[in-house]
Every structure is written in C-alpha cells, then in structure tokens.
Amino acid sequence: MSATVFDPAQYDQQLAEKVVRLRELLAPFAAPEPEVFDSPREHYRLRAEFRLWRENEERFYAMFAPGDKHTPILIEDFPIASRRINELMPRLKAGWQSSQTLSFKLFQVEFLTTLSGDALITLAYHRPLDEAWQREAERLSADLGVSIVGRSRGKRIVIGRDHVDEEMTVAGRTFRYRQPEGAFTQPNGEVCAKMLNWAYEVMGERTDDLLELYCGNGNFTLPLATRARQVLATEISKTSVNAALHNLADNGIDNVSLVRLSAEELTQALNDVRPFRRLAGIDLKGYDFGTVFVDPPRAGMDPDTCELTRRFERILYISCNPETLAANIAQLSDTHRVERCALFDQFPYTHHMEAGVMLVRR
C-alpha cells in the first residue's frame, strides 16, 4: 500500500476541505447540508498490507510514496493502523528474522484485524510452501495468538481460521460478522459503525421490501433487514456470498434471500430479458420493493443499473467515490431528489471520502 502522510494537526482542516468538495459535487441537485461523521485521528485502519524490503540480509516492512514504486519507506510501526496491528508488527518481524524457513522468499504481509480484537496475518511467498514451512507457521501462530494464512502461486495453507470475527452495534443491537481473508471489508471500523447507524436511521421502519445490490458479506444487509418486510440481496463474489449466508444465519435473520448475480444480471432478470437458474424458487413479482440500497464499486453504477434504480420510490446510496455518485445522481435527478446526504471520513489524510445519500421520487 502507498504511504499516507500522517499529521493529526491537519485532520480538521482536511475534513473541512472534504465537506466543501462534497457540497460542490451535490450543489447542482439542491442537496441539503451534509451530515459529517469524522474518524479517529489514529489507529483507525483495521487492515494493512506491506511489501517487504531486503537490506543487509534483513527484511523490513516497506511502503512507497504514490507514483514511486522503487524507493521504499522502511517502517517499524504504522500509526494509522489498529493498535492490534501495531502490537503484532514487531513480533511478526522477530518471528521471520529468527526463522530462515519463514523468511525465505517472503515478499508481502497483510494484517486483518477487528474492533473486537480478532486478528489474521497473511504471508505471501515467491516459492512453494512445504511441511517445514507449515510447522514453523504453526509455531508462529501459537506464539502470536493469531491465525496465519500462507499464499504461494494460487496455493493457500491456513493455520487456524481463514477469517476474523467482527461485531458492530447498530441501534442498540450487536451484529456478528465473519470477514474472510482476501475478501473486501470496510477498512475503518469506527466509521463503518457510523455508516451502518446512519443507513439504519435513514431507512426507517418499513412495511414493504428492500432490494440490495452489491451486498458483500452482508455488512449493511444485517441491520437493514430488521427495517424491511423482506430483502432480496445480490452479490457476485462467491466468497462474500458464503460469508453473508453465514452472517445471516449466525444473527438469526431469516427474511433475506441472497442470490449470486451481478447488478447487470439482476437488471436483466427484473426486465424479463432472460431467466437465471440461480433465481429458481424466488418469485421476483412477489416482492413489493419500496427501497433499493446500493453500495457500488468506485466506478459507480453502470447506466443500466442506474436506470433500474429509477423505478424505485427510494434509493439509498453509499459511495466510496463521490465523483461517480454525482454522475449517477445527475442521471436520476429528473425523477429523484436528494433528501439526505452524509460524509463519512473513512480515509483520513487522503483526498478520498465515503458519502451517503437518500434519493426520493419527486
């Protein structure tokens, strides 16, 4: 990952600049003043990825300035990462420095942690992993008290579990989440909790149904399902679908049907363009969708999916790229207006921000 300029003294000014930028993007749509949700100033990032740099027979955690992949910045700690990651960094380094088996051709390390204190470390190698590596990794896992995943050219060896367990409290109820290694998770846990509570409040108590696109591991699905009669959720990643199914069952949520379809495929199904075997047993015409919830990738919604959302009374939209959010709102502005908007500072000390809007039919 790229190095971030960490300067807490600049945080408030940088956040104010983001608010100005979001206002500018949403001004053409007469949006209300954005609600602003800030981040902890340090130790907010729950996952981190480091390349390793070899110097004088020793390997160091390394990061790189944006646009420069050849000049490493060697680090011993990482103040924007969770306290758990910072506690594990020197202990893991000591582990590979004391073991030729663990350090040989090790080129990348990934940490995945949770607000509840769980942790998993992924070690990536430019060589096959053998039984000797597994024995050393098992010893290291026991010493550190974490699960370890070894990766090498498509092969994966899991020591312990291949996931971490997280908890998020929304409107007084605690939801449990399984977060698989290698799958997308929100990087800033405390801001994620603020996003979930905002979406829950904006959704309101409903007697009709919710359609969710890009549901991931069920991050928003779990709390929003308690606000709707029924939910139809879609996701394309098999790993995320399996995690979402586990999370729904683990939390006793039984009003959600989850299908592995892309947003584009669901659009085709709803428009009767063609049938999908993965929708067998699901009566699309039996739903009374009052709200569609979307949390698309940085590219935003494609034009067809954007047109699909137009048919719904309410569009709840979480965006990791307000530029494409504004472009999508422009496509919808003749039929929908912005009723609520919010800025979530998921990525302090960068120009990136997360935004949320509730669009309602005019």
pLDDT value for 56: 82
Ranges of the chain whose pLDDT falls below 70: 1-3
110 in active site: no
**What single-letter amino acid sits at 296?**
P
CA 261 to chain centre: 19
Q: Does residue 197 have a known ligand-binding role?
A: no
pLDDT value for 5: 80
Q: Two tokens at 269?
A: 């199904």
Catalytic-labelled residue, pool 215, 306, 320, 341 = 320
Residues 6+ apart with CB under 8 A from 9: none
3-class secondary structure, 51: strand
Residue-wise pLDDT for 291-312, tens only, equals 999 999 999 999 989 999 999 9
pLDDT value for 350: 94
320 in active site: yes
Q: Of all helices (H) and strands (E), which one includes residue 165? A: strand 163-170
Q: Does residue 235 have a known ligand-binding role?
A: yes
Residue-wise pLDDT for 325-360, tens only, equals 999 999 999 999 999 999 999 999 999 999 999 999
pLDDT value for 3: 62
**Chain region(s) in the chain for CATH 3.40.50.150:** 8-41+188-361
Q: Give CATH for domain 47-164.
A: 2.40.50.1070
pLDDT value for 2: 58
Q: Does residue 271 have a known ligand-binding role?
A: no
Q: Of all helices (H) and strands (E), which one includes residue 234? A: strand 231-234
Q: Does residue 134 have a known ligand-binding role?
A: no
Q: What DSSP character marks residue 33?
A: P
The C-alpha atoms of residue 203 and residue 235 are separated, in whole angstroms, by 20
Cβ neighbours around 222 below 10 Å, total: 26
Vertex 291 angle, CA 315 and 307, to 5°: 50
The third-level CATH classification (topology) of the domain covering 8-41+188-361 is Rossmann fold (3.40.50)
Q: Does residue 143 have a known ligand-binding role?
A: no
Sign of the dihedral defined by the CA atoms of residues 323, 324, 326, 327, in that order:
positive
| CA distance readout (Å), 221 to 111, 234, 361 | 25, 10, 23
pLDDT value for 69: 80
